[in-house]
Structure 1
Amino acid sequence: MLTGLRLENIALIERLELAFSEGFTVLTGETGAGKSILLDALDALLGGAQGSQGARLLRRGAVRGRIEASFRLAPPLLEWLERQELEAEEGELLLSRDWRLQDGRLTSRHRLNGLVVSRTQVLDLRPLLLDLTVQGQTQQLARPGQQRRWLDRFAGEGTATALAATRAAWRRWRQQADALERALADRERSALERARQEELLADLEAGGLEDPQERQRLQAEQDRLAHGVRLQEGVMTLLGRLVEGAEGAPSVLDHLAACDQELQTMAGLDAGVADLQGACADALARLQDLSRDLDRYGALLESDPESLALLQERMARLKALERRHGQELPELIALRDRLRQALGEGGSEAALAGLQAAEAAARQERDRANALLSRARSAAARTLEDQLMEALRPMGLAAVRFAVELSPAEPGEEGADAVRFLFSANPGQPLAPLAEVASGGEMSRFLLALKTCLAAADPHVTLLFDEIDTGVSGRVSGAMAQLLRRLAERRQVFCVTHQPLVAAAAHHHFRVSKSVVAGHTHTRVSHLRDTAERQAELAELAGGDTGEAHSYAASLLGSGNPLAAASTDPAASHPGPFEQPQQQHGDGGGEQHRQQLGRPQGRQLQNAADAGDRQQQQPEPQAEAGHGRGDGAAAIPVQPHQAAAGEQQQGEHQTAA
């Protein structure tokens, strides 16, 4: 329940503070006075007025603006706060939004109980606080899925459970379907791509690639073979010179043996040559040993030119593979292994079959959940049809027909139903989509009847109607007034109206007016607490300051109306904490007011409303409105509702722009 609203530098309003109570509250006043500003402010507070809309909302010439509202906590709000890990303060939720204009750029910030929150959080919270309905709301009706969402809200907890199960089943199926689609896409690659991969694999397979270090091993073997030939050639050259000689000529050993023979002869002639002969004999023996060693070394050397040629051919092939594919041997081996796996048949087909089975099972589960949800929606649709027509018939639509059409739709997270509201206001007129055939007045009545039917699903949400009774006759507006009054028995209802019959049915009545003083526009919001004030305003709505209009207004209120008796309550004569008018007195006054807005005034409003609740428990006699003229003569049953202390404390608030 909305307990308080504070505005600063919003549209035509410089400063304003209001306290609200339970029941049915109306706002009246001449066109352009600013009645809808209050509803626009609440819309902006709860996540609306983005971009240029926010710039238009800020009062001209102001660089800062603020909207603050206090709400009485209800169980759904407490659950939401718990999910968001936010704390509730003394049974109250205080929501604010501040705007700041700096360097031509407008920014805003939301706070909840003093803590900064995101706009996404506020939009998530909004349906738990307020439901705003405007006249001719055809755009909302045409919004995809809106009529289905209304049906689900009406259906209540049973459908909510089925819807949650449907969403969970849909997500599981979507996950399996995505996995299957990816697998099928992998298998069904283009024939050209598969052929390219097969050709690449064949090339790599033909290369006989096994050892990532094969090139290094072949290089070492090639070096060994190549040096072996050269060494063998050297051994042969040395042996040829030492032992064999060239072309039959004596070898080195032959010459040295001849030298040794000659020295032996000389030593026989001269004993002094014996040492020389010994040295020559020793040299000859050493060369003979060397020749034998060279022969043995040559025998150990392997000379295989064919092996070397094959080895060099293999190395050239490996180099060609690396150059052709731009990768080294280890990377080519890894690529070949990946291609073998990708182009293999057995494993991939088995995996694909498993994915297909999992998707089919998830699809069956999804379809079962959709069927259960469709049955729940169908049952709720029949009930909604009956209740809505029952609510519409007293509002000048005696021959109305209404049907909720459910047709199969592509399965989605919200089920597999397309929902359309079909409407016929006149006999002989076929049922047709509501948004296409309903007039503005018919749409207003339909939306009011719909919100009445939805009320049971959201008993804690405050309903706001902006001129929803525009374009209807007096008799119809009387029926709408009765419906609004009944709707307010279990919830808080606000209505901006120009209809005296609707205004007379309210528990609380605020008048919005404006005036221009010294070139400045002043907006005044007055809480009409006594019968005389209300009668004067109803007379103005009925046609002006005439005797006939005043008589008509008096007949609407009647002496038995508890609202007329509210002004006699002793508490009404004493101003409350919000009775003092807010006026601007230079910059100091504005700063003082900003400090006041920062105080926990919302809790004072809450306490005032609680005091009103205690007063409402006092028994009141049943009252009934009198009769007026023409269509306006329809009787409006008025339920007992004592004025709350919060509204008794509410004074007039003058604002300047």
Structure 2
Amino acid sequence: MLQTLSIRDFVIVDKLELEFSPGFTVLTGETGAGKSILIDALSLVLGARGEGGITRAGAEKAEINAVFDIAALPGLQAWLLENEIDLDDAQLLLRRVIYADGRSRAFINGSSATIQQLRDIGEFLVDIYSQHAHHALLKSSTQRQVLDAYGGVQALVGEVANAYHVWQALYRKRVDAERNAEAHAIELAGLRDQVRELAALAPSAEEWEPLQQEHARLSHGASILAGGEACRELMSEGELAALTQLSSVQHKLQELVEYDCGLQEALDILDGAIIQLEEADRFLNRYLQRADLDPERLHEVEGRIQALHAAARKYRSRPEELPELLASWQLRMAELESAHDNSQLQQEEAQARATYDALAQRLSDARQQAALSLGDKISHEMQRLALSGGRFEVALNAQAPAATGNEQVEFLVAGHAGVAPRPLSKVASGGELSRISLAIRVVTAQQGDMPTMIFDEVDVGIGGGVAEVVGKLLKTLGNQRQVLVITHLPQVAAQGSQHLRVSKQLQDGQTLSRIEVLTPAQRVDEVARMLGGMEITETTLQHASEMLAGGA
């Protein structure tokens, strides 16, 4: 439920703080006073697109804050947790800041948010019905959505759409396979030859680097043996071998240490060096004993490298990439072989079609049941709205299978008894359309769980006793949820449990809009103004008092 709305520097509002009550709230005011500003502000804080001229003249930014009580909305609370947004005492604070240059920022409970997140939240909080909504009801898509929402089958509608898309994807895959069968067969034959050749070579992702290292060792085997022997000659075998020279130094230092122990550190370092050099000599000796030129292995390695290079040149790749290339060919072969198997594709397509048909039939059955109930309830409300004898029906016209199901939804209406129902777009006048639209909204709202509903002058074209009935309908709806109505009808305004008035004032050369909560006495004056225009008489005031007493 909407609790408070705060507006700063928005259009012709400089500062506004409003608190809202549960039940039925009416908003009235003279033409041009800015009654729709409240709806526009609330729409923006719920994620509507901002356009130029939103900020008040001379202001840097417009700011809108709305506080909602969401204790009774577990679905929204779960959404907030899923999006890692803190929830404090079941209250939700939405904030929208729009700068004069068009930039915009959004916040949810103090955390920065996206405009799309505001829109997502708005789906849980508020439904706004405007005069435009009447005309939207003339569209087949809107009529289908109304029926599906009334029947509570939105989840099933999603399943049907998903099943349809899966079926169509398989259908296109089969048709494509049949259309390109010859080209696919040629491609598959070529791939089989390539895969056979490369698979016979059996390139391995791990072999290329070790293979090159082994080739380098084998191809330089003679140099390695000669160099190793020369190193041993210098270290231990020659007349001037390093080990022989170091041993002489070691012996000399041992004599000197007896005279000066300060040379012990040098002797210790030399001892370590001799040990390291002896270890290196032993390693070289072992290596040279095992080393083998092995020209046969060298020939084998060179042949393998040449084969890999040849394959890489042929298929315009690098040798180390051949395993990946082979895997990609094998995958493409599997796809083509699967596509070539029309019987498998046909079986998959038939199974997908059967799934769609079963879901679509469930949807058709549910729609049929909902259509009968919706038609009866709206027909009942039409009698109360001076459409005596009128009848409302929901026709389900068969259509080719589609993502929306197997039928088109069409609203039919007969304005009075003895007339066959015809499409809503062809028979409803402006006033009738307003009444029928209101009946639809009232009936469907009873099935929904939207906590707040706002009607923006949906009573246009209605007057007299019908207006009083409309007011009572909205009041009844207000017993179930929070209802806010912008109205120009005194009969509707008199039914409200809370009354807000919009007015314009000239301040410092600027026209500013004001919205105030009316006291009982002020309500009498406002309803009297709506009844009698500029000239308010005692009779008008008496009439207004009686209307308000009757609406209480």
TM-score of the pair, normalised by structure 2: 0.70
CA deviation profile, 1:594-641 (whole Å, cap 9, x unmatched): xxxxxxxxxxxxxxxxxxxxxxxxxxxxxx52xxxxxxxxxxxx35xx
> 2-side partners of 1:508 and 1:197: how far apart?
76
Q: Which amino acid aligns with 1:425?
A: G
Q: Is 1:96 aligned to 2:111, yes or no?
A: no
| 1:36-185 aligned within 5 A | 36-50=36-50, 53=51, 55-73=52-70, 74-75=72-73, 76-101=75-100, 105-143=101-139, 145-156=141-152, 159=153, 163-165=154-156, 167-168=158-159, 170-171=161-162, 174-175=165-166, 178-179=169-170, 181-182=172-173, 185=176
CA deviation profile, 1:364-411 (whole Å, cap 9, x unmatched): 122111111111111111111111111121212113221111123444
- Alignment gaps of 5+ in structure 1: 214-318, 562-623, 626-637, 640-657
More deviation, 189-198/389-398: 189-198
Distance 1:329 1:143, change over 3 A: same
Q: Identify the residue that residue 542 of structure 2 maps to in structure 1.
A: 554
What CA RMSD, in Å, does the superposition of the two structures yield over aligned residues? 3.9
Distance 1:466 1:553, change over 3 A: farther
| 1:478-489 aligned within 5 A | 478-489=468-479
Distance 1:552 1:107, change over 3 A: same
Q: Which amino acid aligns with 2:173?
A: R
Report the CA distance between 1:203 and its aligned residue: 10
Q: Which amino acid aligns with 1:18?
A: L
Identity of aligned residues (%): 32
Q: Is the 8 A contact 1:201 1:336 kept in 2?
A: no
Q: Identify the residue that residue 475 of structure 1 maps to in structure 2.
A: 465
Q: Which amino acid aligns with 1:480?
A: V
- SS in structure 1 of the partner of residue 53 of structure 2: helix
Report the CA distance between 1:413 and its aligned residue: 4.6
Distance 1:358 1:493, change over 3 A: same
Q: Which amino acid aligns with 2:531?
A: A
Q: Is 1:382 aligned to 2:377, yes or no?
A: no
> 1-side partners of 2:35 and 2:198: how far apart?
88
> 1-side partners of 2:161 and 2:418: how far apart?
42
| 1:205-284 aligned within 5 A | none
> 1-side partners of 2:515 and 2:57: how far apart?
20
Q: Identify the residue that residue 542 of structure 1 maps to in structure 2.
A: 531
> 2-side partners of 1:338 and 1:71: how far apart?
56
Report the CA distance between 1:363 and its aligned residue: 1.9
Q: Which amino acid aligns with 2:83?
A: Q
> 2-side partners of 1:91 and 1:334: how far apart?
56
Q: Is 1:415 aligned to 2:405, yes or no?
A: yes
CA deviation profile, 1:292-316 (whole Å, cap 9, x unmatched): xxxxxxxxxxxxxxxxxxxxxxxxx
- SS in structure 1 of the partner of residue 137 of structure 2: helix
Q: Is 1:13 aligned to 2:13, yes or no?
A: yes
Q: Is the 8 A contact 1:99 1:106 kept in 2?
A: yes
Report the CA distance between 1:491 and its aligned residue: 1.2
- SS in structure 1 of the partner of residue 358 of structure 2: helix
| 1:536-615 aligned within 5 A | 536-544=525-533, 546=535, 548=537, 550-558=538-546
Q: Is the 8 A contact 2:531 2:544 kept in 1?
A: no
More deviation, 374-383/146-155: 146-155
Distance 1:166 1:386, change over 3 A: closer
Q: Identify the residue that residue 447 of structure 1 maps to in structure 2.
A: 437
Q: Is 1:466 aligned to 2:463, yes or no?
A: no
Distance 1:490 1:343, change over 3 A: closer
> 2-side partners of 1:209 and 1:490: how far apart?
73
Q: Which amino acid aligns with 2:145?
A: R
Q: Which amino acid aligns with 1:117?
A: A
Figure out how many residues of one structure are paired with residues of the other and give that number.
446
Q: Is the 8 A contact 2:528 2:543 kept in 1?
A: no
- SS in structure 2 of the partner of residue 25 of structure 1: strand
Report the CA distance between 1:534 and its aligned residue: 1.4
Distance 1:485 1:556, change over 3 A: farther
Distance 1:169 1:485, change over 3 A: closer
- SS in structure 1 of the partner of residue 516 of structure 2: strand
Q: Identify the residue that residue 310 of structure 1 maps to in structure 2.
A: none
- SS in structure 2 of the partner of residue 110 of structure 1: strand
Q: Which amino acid aligns with 1:462?
A: T
Q: Is the 8 A contact 1:510 1:525 kept in 2?
A: yes
Distance 1:195 1:109, change over 3 A: same
- Alignment gaps of 5+ in structure 2: 204-309
CA deviation profile, 1:4-59 (whole Å, cap 9, x unmatched): 11001111001100111012111111111111110111111112133xx2x22221
Q: Is 1:519 aligned to 2:509, yes or no?
A: yes
Q: Which amino acid aligns with 1:70?
A: V
> 1-side partners of 2:148 and 2:401: how far apart?
16
Q: Is the 8 A contact 1:137 1:443 kept in 2?
A: no
Q: Is the 8 A contact 1:151 1:381 kept in 2?
A: yes
Q: Is the 8 A contact 2:379 2:392 kept in 1?
A: yes
More deviation, 433-442/59-68: 433-442
More deviation, 434-443/173-182: 173-182
Largest Rg, 1 or 2 = 1
Q: Identify the residue that residue 357 of structure 1 maps to in structure 2.
A: 347
Report the CA distance between 1:98 and its aligned residue: 0.8
Report the CA distance between 1:87 and its aligned residue: 3.1
Q: Is the 8 A contact 1:136 1:444 kept in 2?
A: no
- SS in structure 2 of the partner of residue 43 of structure 1: helix
Q: Is 1:424 aligned to 2:423, yes or no?
A: no
